[in-house]
Amino acid sequence: MVHPAGVPPGGVPIFNVEPVRPHWFYMKENRVWMPFSHIDSEALEHEFSKPTTKEDRIVPTDGGRYDVNVDERVRRAVYWEEDVSVVRRCTWFFKGDGGVKLVPYKEEMAATLEAEFYSAVRQNQWPRKIVISDSEYILLHNTNVMVHFQTCGPTDWSGEDSGWRPKVVRRGVADIEEDIEDGEGHQIDHLVFVIHGIGPIADLRFRNIIECIDDLRMVTLSMLNEHHQELAKGRTIGRIEYLPVQWHDKLHNDSNGVDERLHSISLKSISKLRDFTNSTLLDILFYTSPTYCQTIVDTVGSEMTNLLALFRKRNPSFKGQISVCGHSLGSSIMFDILYHQQDPNATKSAKQSPPAQQHNSTQMSEDSTDSAALELSEDEEESGQELPEVLSQLGLQDYTALFESEKIDLNTLSLCSESDVKEMGLPMGPRKKLMGYLRQHAALQKHKKEKEKRAKARAESKLNSAEMVLTQSTSSLQSLGTVESVEVLYHQGYAGTGQPYVKYPKLAFKPFALFALGSPIGMFMTVRGVDQVGPDFKLPTCQKVFNIFHPFDPVAYRLEPLVDSTFVKDPIMIKHHKGRKRMHLELRDNLSRFGATLKASLIESVKNTWESINEFARAHAYSDGVVSSTQQQIDPPSTPTSIASDTEDETDTLLRIGQLNSGDRIDYVLQERPLESLNEYLFALSSHVCYWLSEDTALFILRAIYKDGITT
């Protein structure tokens, strides 16, 4: 170490100075300099120290998501398009304004300052003035006190606007060394593709999905380090990699022309609000359009395919599983794509029926007949039987006159209930026989309709239009010229009525899980006409679905009631990352428990009092062995069959509900913060974008992946 004045107490000058340790920085789009992690900076310095070669020296940084060209001093994104960032090998800094701790000098200027600093220490000449220009200089008072003065305006020596005030100069990164991240490990255990929702921005700070995923990745690494022992379980674990899947730009690019057409029909008033609507909210309508829905799903599918190929090329040793994560509309897009995948291991006999057909099909156990009888009934129906023939076939020809007097034919009889037939005077035996025939007749009609529907679906699947039917008709108008109209045909698809004919892409992988954040999947299925998908419904190639939402998220909907309409349990509350409930929730539960206990105590007290009154009445009410009507025993008030529990029922997680999540629970709710509980509506919008910085969400994903998704 060097004494502040350059001379120790003994008076002998110290001429040896420890070399400054360089640290590498890069400039963000907002012209803020950010330090590389310690791991990345050491890798860059190691490559820089090697002899220069003819080929460019490329160093992967930020977990392999960026490449740095050491010779050109530039940083380029690997998996997405982004402006090139300037890179700098930094040794000398000055303190910036507005919370910026250190701003690096240019490398040439830093070399000059280092040489002057060495000279001042060796010659013990303090203070030393380093003149930069006529109006700017740096004064080195000693090894610790150094100031940058500027007398008439900013210069460009540092690459930044240094302002008018004197700046404190620092040698090395000692001031911020503790704030610099250690870096990401090379071992990747799991890959997660993240599909964004509507619009180009993903949070309230107007950041894109790339920046928001950086937050999610940072929080996930923090939770991984904090809960490493719990997640590792004695094995060596690495990290989870998140890669963004972007589809908005492809939908709104110049080649599509949709933005230009929207601009031509938009009103000129409140232009900023209309531009915001055109670029964000209309994405929901685009997804319901067959033309643009096809563009969206094709983009998502191709992006994941390309990203996976590039990822495997850069990480040839990766053997982990892959999951998908969708936010808002992105989760619905991913859900539809996953449902239309085909499992090559599934046989034709094991194929599940569409949820809409599951919903429309009724219980026919009481109406069941053997196949021979059903085929016979079909032949009879095709022959056009009348009611007298049916009665004769059933041995009820004696009652033909009765039905004729009421002017009832076979079609009218099918609308009658058993009580209607009973009022006509038909005995029980013939009545039961006739009603059994009517039930069989109704089952036959439904069977024929289903056969026709399946035959129609098979015919439509053979169309060369890849399930997109657009019938174009042209008509000539005398005054308007030629106008082309388009008729869009919809079908009763797997996702319900109203789902347009779309050819969904086939993915090159089987996802381990779908993590839906703030998801409207339930809403989309409901408006398509799906009331219940049934317990046997599942995604062909994805066995796990986690529906994660904030309780105040206005876009989020539940999924469990669609699987089983009789399921009334609340969603599972996600545990706080500290291992407890938030204080205000504990207080609310304690108050609920106190109220339930007080209510139960009062009811029990009233019950005991009532029993005492009854005992007293029975002891004095007998007269000649008969109890008077006014003195009969009165039953005490009944105790409620159930009382609200004080805490979340731990057995909820053990309930089995359908196959969508391999039988496990599907809906999971985050705990709101104390401030959010004050006004639900005030925090409704922010709750929809809270997932990127939510420690609870990140830890939930980690636990879900490392519990079942990582091979030990």
Q: Are the CB atoms for 387 and 408 separated by under 8 Å? A: yes
SS3 of 225-291: HHCHHHHHCCCCCCEEEEEEECCHHHHCCCCCCHHHHHHHHCCCCCHHHHHHHHHCCHHHHHHHCHH
Query: What percent of the chain lies above the pLDDT cut of 90?
Result: 46
Position 461 pLDDT exceeds 80: no
Positive or negative, the CA dihedral 397, 399, 404, 410 is negative
Position 10 pLDDT exceeds 50: no
Distances (CA, A) of 276 to 237, 263, 293: 43, 12, 20
Q: Which two tokens stand for residue 491?
A: 């079908």
Position 632 pLDDT exceeds 60: no
Residue 206 domain-assigned?
A: yes
Position 584 pLDDT exceeds 60: no
Closest CA to 688 of 546, 556, 573, 558: 556
Decide which of 448 and 112 is more confident: 112
pLDDT value of residue 498: 55
Q: Are residues 97 and 193 in the same domain?
A: no
Residue 528 domain-assigned?
A: no
In this predicted model, what pLDDT tens digit does every residue of 648-695 receive, in sequence order? 445 566 788 889 999 999 999 999 988 887 788 888 999 999 999 999
Residue 621 domain-assigned?
A: no
| Burial of 592: CB neighbours in 10 Å, binned 0-12, 13-18, 19+ | middle
Q: Are residues 318 and 402 in the same domain?
A: no
| Interior angle at CA 596, CA 590 and CA 600, nearest 5 | 145
Q: Are residues 307 and 218 in the same domain?
A: yes
The mean-pLDDT minimum among 226-230, 243-247, 303-307, 633-637 falls in 633-637
Q: How many domains does the chain have?
A: 3
d(CA 90, CA 64): 22
Q: Are the CB atoms for 307 and 79 separated by under 8 Å? A: yes
Q: Which two tokens stand for residue 79?
A: 């998996």
Single pTM value for the model: 0.71
d(CA 557, CA 485): 36
Q: Are residues 128 and 221 in the same domain?
A: no
pLDDT value of residue 191: 98
In this predicted model, what pLDDT tens digit does every residue of 504-540 receive, in sequence order? 999 999 999 999 999 999 999 999 888 889 899 999 9
pLDDT value of residue 468: 41
Decide which of 373 and 220 is more confident: 220
Q: Are residues 79 and 140 in the same domain?
A: yes
Structural domain harbouring 202: 188-341+539-581+674-709
pLDDT value of residue 46: 95
pLDDT value of residue 154: 53
Coil, strand or helix: which one is 106?
A: coil
pLDDT value of residue 622: 52
Find all residues with CB under 8 Å of 501, minimum gap 6, and list them.
290, 465, 467, 468, 469, 489, 490, 491, 493
Where does a domain end: 439, 454, 469?
Answer: 454
pLDDT value of residue 42: 96
Task: Identify how many contiguous H helices and E strands the chain contains and give both numbers.
Answer: 22, 25
| Helix residue spans in 621-687 (DSSP H) | 684-687
Decide which of 449 and 623 is more confident: 449
d(CA 191, CA 510): 12
Coil, strand or helix: which one is 462?
A: coil
- pLDDT band for 431, please (50, 70, 90 cuts): confident
Q: Are residues 545 and 686 in the same domain?
A: yes
What are the catalytic residues?
328
d(CA 657, CA 70): 55
Q: Are residues 547 and 688 in the same domain?
A: yes
Q: Are residues 213 and 324 in the same domain?
A: yes
* Average predicted confidence (pLDDT) for the chain: 79
491 DSSP β-pair partners: 499
Where does a domain end: 427, 454, 481?
Answer: 454
Residue 231 domain-assigned?
A: yes
DSSP state of 223: H
Residue 13 domain-assigned?
A: no
Positive or negative, the CA dihedral 154, 158, 160, 166 is negative
Q: Are residues 194 and 330 in the same domain?
A: yes
- pLDDT band for 593, please (50, 70, 90 cuts): low
Residue 2 domain-assigned?
A: no
| Burial of 325: CB neighbours in 10 Å, binned 0-12, 13-18, 19+ | buried
> Residue 127, preceding bond cis, omega within 30 degrees?
yes
